[in-house]
Structure 1
Amino acid sequence: MLLIFRILLVTLVGDAVYSDEQSKFTCNTLQPGCNNVCYDTFAPVSHLRFWVFQIVLVSTPSIFYIVYVLHKIAKDEKLESARAQAAVQGGQEASSRCEEDKVLLIYIVHVVLRSLMEIGFLVGQYYLYGFEVPHLFRCETYPCPNRTDCFVSRATEKTIFLNFMFGVSLGCFVLNIAELHYLGWVYTFRVLCSACCACCRPRKGSLVGVGLYSCNSPLFLQLGQSLQEKLALPGSLPSPKEKPGGLSPCPPPISLETDSTADRTSSRGPEDKERAKPHPGRGIKSWL
């Protein structure tokens, strides 16, 4: 946002202030070439061109970062189907976390480069121009015959604009430092969280290895066979088939007769058997 504000200042205000900076720079001499040499000594680089060069270099890391993000978005759209398959297999979370950490790291590098350029241009502006544009500049450079006085146009307006641009650059640098401070804590927190998740996550390979070892171990097989032999009933009849309704068949009736009672019943005559039959209308005595 401040970059756009700086561009608007240079294009709208700076052009009007510095449009006549060399044509109105006059020296009290008629020596050919003295005016040009004195102006070059006064301003090795024009204020306006210095700020344009600063805007271009400071915005270069941001432009590269935007190009990288756009390329990554296009690549993610092409690989959307592959990511869906990886999500089904359970490997999408780690890949997305790695991609997020990579984008965050590139953003931090871009902010660091931008901050270094800002501080470099601040130091350069201070050594080239200082904080004040003088009304009178004394020049003693060849081919001027002696000490020559040169006069600068719109000195007060240029001083205000110079300090204002210095303040804008300083504000951008402070914002970059604050952003680095915030992103540094965020990146550290993410690294710690990813390390903790990697330590606490169970390893699938170890669980599979334990399962294969337990299934293929001869000791485990021998123990299972011995348990089956102990639990199996010798001479047990096969279980009756279940009815289609899902109910088990009724158990066979339990006979309460012994060998002696069977002999007695067989030795009885027809009359005794007739007496033993239950008559309708009479109550049946229970066996108690």
Structure 2
Amino acid sequence: MDWKTFQALLSGVNKYSTAFGRIWLSVVFVFRVMVYVVAAERVWGDEQKDFDCNTKQPGCPNVCYDHFFPISHIRLWALQLIFVTCPSFMVVMHVAYRDDRERKHRAKFGDNTKLYNNTAKKHGGLWWTYLISLFAKTGIEISFLYILHRIYDSFYLPRLVKCEVSPCPNQVDCYIGHPTEKKVFTYFMVGASALCIILNICEIIYLIAKRVARIANKIKSRQRHMALHHDDFNDDPFNNCKLHVERQDLKEKPPSFETSYKSAYRLSVKREKIRASAPNLSMAL
């Protein structure tokens, strides 16, 4: 495996990760990849040669080794590291897709226009892609730990195993090479994997809590803006359409036709009397 190429690919993921994501990437490189390359491969090496059985029966050591080690630790960890880092490339691909859309948008509408404020900012679809990648990484880590636990019985490597598989003539004692050293590295890799699971869960909680807090702040600011707009509308004299009417005026009944007719008749009689009492100026001239 070309670990330098692998590291170059993952270095791009670090630019779009949160603080928890950067810690997770550091743990993967320092406590898993470096330990795997520097020490683990040399400890295991060709472990089938170090698997000795007290028999010369042809085929018996090979069958016993395959029975107790159906999957080599070193190859299982290599697959785990590859699979667990693949979801992170989803984020890189999504950012590259955004960059391509931004480039096409500027080429069409001009360099002054923007489709995204920041293509690497975790909003909208990129936020969901990042969250899905975290769930995928956590699920892969748990799955590989379960496989290792299922195959090797609680990650334990005994010094002596007894084999009764054909073509062995009878019960055969087989000895594992460097059992204590392999056990230490097994527990170390399992612990590093568990630490990565904890970091992924913390990052999931952090992203969801941050998103909920942002939505709550938007709702509060919107309600505050609506309340200020409502107060300004009531204080504006041009928008104040309220009529101050007393309750007693609302309770009074409208005048009847007869009352209105009598009032008009009295007013006309008064006008005639005023005209009759007025002096005739034309006769005086």
TM-score calculated relative to the size of structure 2: 0.62
From the two aligned structures, give the one with the greater helix fraction. 2
Q: Does 1:115 align with 2:141?
A: no
Residue identity over aligned pairs, in percent, reads 32
Equivalent position of 2:15 in the other structure: none
**1:104 and 2:127 aligned:** yes
Identify the residue that residue 21 of structure 1 maps to in structure 2: 47
Residue 145 of structure 1: aligned partner: 169
Q: Is the 8 A contact 2:91 2:129 kept in 1?
A: yes
Residue 72 of structure 1 aligns to which amino acid in structure 2? Answer: R
Corresponding residue number in structure 2 for 1:70: 96
SS at match of 1:31: coil
> Aligned partners of 2:148, 2:78: CA distance in 1, in Å?
13
> Structure 1 residue 165: deviation in Å?
0.2
- CA offsets, 1:166-207, max 9 Å, x none? 0000000000000001011112233444566777889xxxxx
2:28: which partner in 1? 3
How far did 1:135 drift?
Answer: 0.9
Note the 1:132-281 alignment, pairs <5 A.
132-193=156-217
Residues in 2 aligned to 1:123 and 1:141: alpha-carbon distance in whole angstroms: 26
Q: Deviations over 1:129-164 (max 9, x none)?
A: 223211111111111111110011000000000000
- Could you tell me how far apart the structure 2 residues matched to 1:15 and 1:8 are? 10
* 2:155 alignment partner, one of 114, 120, 131: 131
The answer for unaligned runs of 5 or more in structure 1 is: 203-288
Q: Which 4+ residue blocks in structure 1 deviate beyond 3 angstroms?
A: 80-87, 190-202
CA contact (8 A) 1:3 1:59 kept: no
Gap change, CA 1:38 and 1:78, over 3 Å in 2: same
**Offset, 1:104:** 1.3
Residue deviations 1:44-98, cap 9 Å, x none? 10000000010111011012221222332343244247487767xxx988x99x9
Contact 1:83 1:92 in 2 (8 A): no
- Tell me if 1:53 matches 2:79: yes
Runs (5+) with no aligned partner, structure 2: 1-25, 227-285
Does the Cα contact within 8 Å between 2:43 and 2:181 map onto a contact in 1?
yes
Contact 2:163 2:171 in 1 (8 A): yes
Question: Contact between 1:132 and 1:159, CA under 8 Å: does it hold in 2?
Answer: yes
Change (3 A) 1:63 1:15: same
Look up the equivalent residue of 1:10 and give its one-letter code. Y
Residue type of the alignment partner of 2:28: L
Output one character per residue of 1:27-50: Cα deviation in whole Å (capped at 9) or x when no partner: 111111111110011111000000
Paired position in structure 2 for 1:41: 67
Q: SS of 1:30's equivalent? A: coil
Separation in 1, partners of 2:187, 2:50: 22
Kindly tell me the number of residue pairs found equivalent between the two proteins.
197
Check whether the contact 2:87–2:137 (CA below 8 A) recurs between aligned residues.
Answer: yes
- Answer with 1 or 2: which has the greater Rg: 1
Residues 6-29 of structure 1 deviation map (CA, whole Å, 9 limit, x = unaligned) = 122112111110113101101111
TM-score, normalised relative to structure 1: 0.61
Residue 102 of structure 2 aligns to a residue whose secondary structure is: helix
Compared CA separation, residues 42 and 117, structure 1 to 2 (3 A): same
1:210-248 deviations in whole A, cap 9, x for unaligned? xxxxxxxxxxxxxxxxxxxxxxxxxxxxxxxxxxxxxxx
- Tell me if structure 2 keeps the 8 A contact 1:111–1:180: yes
User: Aligned partners of 1:104 and 1:30: how far apart in 2?
Assistant: 61
